[in-house]
Structure 1
Amino acid sequence: MSSFAGVDLCPPCAGSACETSADCGYHLLVVQDYSRAKEKAPTGESIISRPFRVGCHTWQIELFPNGDNPSCADFVSLYVCRLDDYLNNAVDAKFSLSFVDQAEKQKPVYILGTETCSFPHGGSRGHRKFMRKDALERSENMRRDGFTVRCDIMICCEEDDASGTGPPRYICQHFSTLLESKVGADVTFEVSGETFAAHRCVLAARSTVFMAQLFGPMKEGTTSSVIRIEDMEAKVFRALLRFIYTDSFPEMEKECVREEAQDVEQGQEEDEMHLQWLRGLFTAADRYDLQHLKFICEKRLSEDIGVSSVASTLVLAEQHDCSGLKMACFKFIQAQSSSCLKRVMSTNGWGHLMTTYPSILNEVIAKLASKKRKKHST
């Protein structure tokens, strides 16, 4: 297609936020004549940027105007792809995909806080549901039937995690081996009927809550050989342990890599299961004071807000005092049409929101009124 243009912008790292352990840069995909592109490109067909270089590797941005599979046909799908086969090795990198005006998502500190993803040759990572098409078309990002997407990439070194929030990689690899082999495990958890063997020192080193529970004032309550956790799903606790031991977002390969759904119904079911799992992991991260994991979950939940989920996500944000996630929900609601707002208000989550957190309802009304005033003033 001729409805796009690519711009290479790969400046050197500057300031303390970018260390010499990472090569970084960004690329702009300028999409023009969006209406025509959306009309002409069926679901599964993409717009691609020109290849660009970051960290001795070749990359490309891939945008699907009508989603990359039927389960997300109402969304724009967006990915970054690695094209080269340099040394035939996978490349570990952090990345952020955003609209060009979203300055907060382009700051080095934001990118440093995202999870590290592995990019094999030809591998792609990104978002099946980057943004609803109708929300995009009404947003300030759309200008003269076009918009600009920015892809920031930071290549991680082999020795250390570029975020500076986790242990060196060789330690993570050692911890991962411990988790798999269970050698030296000295504490057992029983979570929703499933048992997990772990190492007290590893848990305490990563979480102040585990430190207090296993070695501090809370230790008196953990004298039993088995610590039971009844209010958490086993798959969530498994993911929590995986993050603690490896400092990588759990189930990363499964969740980050684009997968084709067999049909729309199956895709929707998978999306709902993933959303529930992500909410549980967000709650667990807050409970055990794992701020890096909580930040990653917050980011993913913010990107996965929909008509059916926004009210429940607002409740979750309020329960865990997460202002960033709360603001993402408000922005989503403000961008909806009247018909979409009616659908939001008909969900079970909205009813729970009204009865349990009426103060949030007042904030929603204030946000909508502010949007209306701005619309009339222009």
Structure 2
Amino acid sequence: MGGSSTKSEFVSVLADKQVKEGEDVTLCCTKNPGEVTAKWKKNGHSLECVEGKHTTEKSETTCSLIIKNAEKADEGNYTLTLEYKAGSVSCSAMVIVELNEWRTVQWEQDPTITTLKNFKIGNAKLRELRFLLNGPVGAGKSSTISTIKSIFEGHQFINCLAASDLNSGMSFTTKYQKFSIGTLPFAFYDVMGLEEDKEDGQSKGVRSDDIIKALMGHIANDYEFKQECSICEDSKYYISDPTLKDKIHCLVSVIAADKVTLMDDKVIQKMKTIRAEASKLGIPQLVFMTRVDKVCTVTEKDLTKIYQSKKIKEKMEECSTRLGVPMNCIFPLKNYHEEIKMNEKLNCLVLEAFTQAVYSANDYVKKFSRKEKCLECFIFI
């Protein structure tokens, strides 16, 4: 953020700037009269001025840097150092470049809520669409479910256990748990978090094969996960001959934006394995990227700037690369965590992601229904 000096050479220091892509940026400070040498740095390195891009100016009382046609690469921390015979002083400012909006959001929640409340499943045999949320410990699976329930119920829902930042590496969720939203035709399934296996090869967290069995409809609600072994076929929670109503209709991978870079490769591989099996089953897949406010100060202050943020786009690109998920299947959002009052902008981001999950799940069950009809016609013939 904007720096300052305790010495008298500066009358005013550089100020932070937030501009839109394509706009010009002017960083300017005023100083006491006197001969000085002015040196500019960007992110700690000498600024290499490019003709037509950078212009530096210095007068008896001012020093300035003009950056023409701001773009993504111009974002950073700029430092001006004034060198006198007796020493030097410095001040700094942050330049944040808002990208042109690359994805639009409906920033009024009521139309989307009404659409989802009136939603009809495209398969008459089903009472609900089923969504399974999976991801590493602490990514925000349970918080995502709680946030969606809060939006539709009009108040904070806190009955769903969610791990806090202080809950280091331990999954709060131990069972295969179903959560409904009142009388709406949607059901969420929460699972134990994914973890890196122990050094001796023993499994930690939820087992990939258990999640795959859940996708296939083999696991009933309330099954308690075991790290040492997968569900057995003789378990009372094992569904031997699952139908469409037992299967998962959309897989949602939940990843924290501030932890994408730190995620262990082995956890990423587990997620890729689960995604590969979901693809074989034809199950649609989305990624909900949570905790966006932890990686971008612009978004933290104003969620409506989320699709103009360089940091958010970079995290989405990193998520896309590491998981092998297309960008249009990744939805950055923020869950309720510290807030005690409802926030419409937060709600709209979550609703945007959830609506896409609903449509994806509905497309899946409609295709399944058409296959069943074709099979029935074949048998009849």
Q: Work out whether the TM-score is over 0.5.
A: no
Normalised by the length of structure 1, the TM-score is 0.23
Between structure 1 and structure 2, the one with the greater Rg is 2
Q: Which structure ranks higher in relative contact order (CA pairs < 8 Å, sequence separation ≥ 6)?
A: 2
Normalised by the length of structure 2, the TM-score is 0.23
